Amino acid sequence: MKIQIKSFEELTTTELYELLKIRSEIFVVEQDCVYLDIDGKDQKALHVIGKRNNNIVAYTRIFRGGDYFEEASIGRVVVKASERKYGYGKEIVKASIHAIEDHFKERRIKVSAQLYLERFYHTLGFNQIGDGYLEDGIPHIAMIRNK
């Protein structure tokens, strides 16, 4: 998988269409969650795109501290269902951590993680803070990585 990091303005229309499609496939269809994905925050984010054979197979968006949460953050973490067996989830999150460190010069990173992914994020250095909560009807926990 080849990783690219782009600002909103650097995305091609094809890339924007593909990343919105994969987010919709996973968050709306696969997880049966009706919510407004296009939230006006993509313009402030850097987009971490994982491509294989020139198709987007993994994606996150990252924010500097203060643009989404008080801390730098990673969100909209997705891997196409057919590609999950290759470990692209860890690869795209690691690339996102490095992008935050390189582009924003920040070390403290927050994620709003779906509860079932707590162990996944823990293996990447994140630890739960606070109590769990419902976000769009799905159990979540806040997690912080301090390095």
Q: Which string of DSSP letters, residue by residue, matches 112-143?
A: EEEGGGHHHHHTTTEEEEEEEEEETTEEEEEE
Give CA–CA dist 85/75, Å, rounded. 21
- b/e map 44-70, b = 16+ CB within 10 Å: ebbbbbbbeeeebbbbbbbbbbeebbe
Report CA-CA distances (Å) from 100 to 16, 32, 48.
21, 30, 10
pLDDT at 147 over 90: no
pLDDT at 131 over 90: yes
At residue 18, the pLDDT reads: 97
pLDDT at 111 over 90: yes
Per-residue pLDDT of 36-83, as tens digits, reads: 899 999 999 999 999 999 999 999 999 999 999 999 999 999 999 999
Question: What's the pLDDT band for 34 if we cut at 50, 70, 90?
Answer: confident
CA-nearest of 34, 43, 36, 35 to 16 is 43
Looking at every residue in the chain, the average pLDDT score rounds to 96
At residue 98, the pLDDT reads: 98
Secondary structure of 55-111 in the HEC alphabet? EEEEEEEEECCCCCCCCEEEEEEEECHHHHHHCHHHHHHHHHHHHHHHHHCCCCEEE
